[in-house]
């Protein structure tokens, strides 16, 4: 999750070019944990051991919890001594997050997926985790960004499995019969919906956007009112739960929301905006223009409500770009085209990108700690953006890798 740039090329048309893909699609079901955490399973080592991981389009490294880390998140642990394909790498690493860090040692081992032969990757074995990270339901991270974002994983996950196109479908509800899923090597027409048109937006190509699924942001509106915005980039990030806005844009959106709703609460210590005595339908639509296409979220898409208390899933950031997390991808089935360096978004009903077609979001009894975890997911993004600049400077003066790799980055 991270950075900035500019350049566009959105066009309406048919679905991504499946005819260009020679590999059969690989479907990885994702657990939808209350619309805030999404994780699937990879197999690591020989014999293969299953690990629940976040598939993160905002990063490119892979790490798992070590057998030496009892306090790490999840229940599964990586133990290289029982894997016949394990190879130690005599280097340590640290990965910094918005609310803490993970640290451990590097290693090589096989990673496998359903119906695909194992591939050998350089990964991290985490021995220490921040307390907040320990509360994650998942056990590790698999980055789906470009190689430029990787700090220690090589080859990247996408390179290792020769993935030139993948798509991410977020189910409307955790109990939906069609689960959330990551699809490698293509898209699933059955997930598109009726009368679908795919809109494509080319990635921003400035140096500061290298490695990110970052696209040009041409407009921001709340209801019928345009919002002045300095941000020129939006990043589609499956490792972030919410919608993240730079401080100025956040303040402008909140002001207009509060005006439309007749008042709301936004404490500095809170990670969310709260409005009382309201319903999904009371909230104005929120629109992001990516490239030349406007994509709208209705109140039911970006607000969680229960007992007439609603919480827009919007957070502030100190970064200069907008982050479109899982909330956005829940509304729009998303394709990530590695070969053509573009993102595709599926719009239903003859291609109108008006949102509001999924069941409304509702709060759950365990929301308090989930929002706590969500804050880690979201705020961690910004650390990486800043870290990329630092990484570039450090790399300019390094003749060779040091024994410890520091990676300011996230999920």
Going from N- to C-terminal start, the domains of the chain cover 26-161, 192-348
pLDDT digits (tens, 9 = 90+) for 25-38: 899 999 987 777 88
Mean predicted confidence (pLDDT) in 344-352: 85
Least confident range of 23-37, 122-136, 267-281, 381-395: 381-395
Q: Read off the pLDDT of each residue in 19-24 and give the average, rounded to a whole number.
A: 55
Tokens linked to 236: 């589609």
What pLDDT was estimated at residue 381? 46
Instruction: Tokens for 276, please give them.
Output: 């009382």
Selected residue with higher pLDDT from 389 and 202: 202
Please tell me the distance from the alpha carbon of residue 251 to that of residue 246, in angstroms, as a whole number: 9
pLDDT band of residue 271 (cuts 50, 70, 90) is very low
The pLDDT of residue 98 = 52
Of 56, 109, 301, 315, the catalytic one is 56
The C-alpha atoms of residue 146 and residue 141 are separated, in whole angstroms, by 15
Q: 34, 61, 237, 326: which one is catalytic?
A: 237
| Residue 301 designated active-site | no
241 neighbors 304 (Cβ within 8 angstroms): no
pLDDT at residue 12 above 50?
no
Helix runs in 263-349, H state only: 299-302, 326-331
Q: Which residues contact 389 (CB under 8 A, 6 or more apart)?
A: none
Task: Quote the pTM value.
Answer: 0.83
Q: What is the pLDDT of residue 100?
A: 62
- Is the pLDDT reported for residue 45 higher than 60? yes
Range 192-348: architecture per CATH: Beta Barrel (2.40)
pLDDT tens across 100-120, in order? 688 999 999 999 998 889 999
Contact assessment for residue 26 and residue 19, using Cβ atoms and an 8 Å cutoff = no
Catalytic-residue membership of 56:
yes
CATH number of 26-161: 2.40.70.10
Q: Over pLDDT 90: what percentage of the chain?
A: 50
The band of 99, judged by pLDDT with boundaries at 50, 70 and 90, is: low
Question: Going by DSSP bridges, is the β-strand pair 37-44/225-226 parallel, antiparallel, or unpaired?
Answer: unpaired
Q: What is the pLDDT of residues 177-200, one digit of tens each?
A: 889 999 999 999 989 887 899 999
DSSP designation for 164? S
Question: What integer pLDDT is reported at residue 317 of this predicted model?
Answer: 84
Least confident stretch, 220-234, 334-348, 384-398:
384-398
Average pLDDT of the chain is 81
pLDDT value at position 97? Answer: 55
What local confidence, expressed as pLDDT, does residue 272 receive? 57
Top pLDDT among 199 and 391 is at 199
Is residue 202 within 8 A of residue 342, CB to CB? The reply is yes
């Amino acid at each position: 999750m991270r950075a900035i740039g500019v350049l566009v090329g959105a066009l309406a048309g048919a679905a991504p070019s499946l005819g260009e893909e020679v590999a059969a699609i690989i479907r990885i079901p994702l657990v939808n944990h209350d619309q805030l955490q999404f994780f699937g399973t990879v197999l690591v080592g020989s014999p293969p051991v299953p690990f629940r991981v976040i598939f993160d389009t905002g990063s490119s490294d892979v790490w798992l919890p070590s057998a030496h880390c009892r306090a790490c998140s999840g229940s599964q642990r990586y133990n290289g001594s029982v894997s016949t394909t394990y190879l130690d790498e005599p280097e340590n690493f640290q990965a910094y997050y918005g609310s803490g860090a993970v640290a451990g040692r590097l290693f090589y081992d096989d990673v496998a997926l359903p119906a695909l032969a194992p591939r050998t990757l350089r990964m991290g074995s985490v021995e220490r985790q921040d307390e907040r990270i320990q509360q994650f339901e998942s056990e590790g991270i698999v980055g789906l960004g470009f190689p430029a974002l990787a700090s220690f994983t090589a080859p990247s996950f996408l390179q290792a499995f020769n993935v030139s196109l993948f798509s991410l479908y977020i189910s409307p509800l955790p109990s939906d019969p069609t689960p959330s899923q990551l699809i490698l090597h293509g898209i699933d027409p059955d997930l598109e919906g009726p009368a679908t048109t795919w809109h494509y937006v080319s990635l921003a190509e400035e140096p500061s956007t290298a490695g990110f699924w970052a696209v040009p942001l041409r407009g921001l509106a709340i209801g019928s009112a345009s919002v002045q915005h300095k941000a020129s980039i939006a990043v589609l990030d499956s490792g972030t739960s919410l919608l993240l806005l730079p401080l100025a844009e956040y303040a402008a959106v909140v002001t207009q929301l509060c005006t439309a709703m007749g008042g709301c609460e936004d404490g500095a210590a809170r990670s969310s905006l709260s409005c009382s005595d309201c319903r999904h339908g009371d909230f104005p639509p929120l629109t992001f223009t990516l490239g030349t296409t406007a994509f709208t979220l209705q109140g039911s898409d970006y607000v969680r409500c229960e007992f007439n208390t609603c919480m827009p899933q919007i957070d502030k950031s100190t970064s200069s770009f907008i982050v479109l997390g899982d909330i956005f991808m829940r509304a729009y089935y998303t394709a990530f085209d590695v070969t053509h360096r573009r993102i595709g978004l599926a719009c239903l009903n003859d291609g109108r990108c008006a949102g509001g077609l999924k069941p409304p979001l509702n709060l759950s009894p365990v929301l308090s700690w989930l929002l706590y975890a969500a804050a880690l997911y979201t705020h961690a993004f910004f650390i990486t953006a800043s870290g990329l600049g630092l990484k570039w400077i450090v790399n300019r003066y390094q003749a060779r890798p040091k024994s410890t790799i520091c990676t300011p980055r996230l999920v």
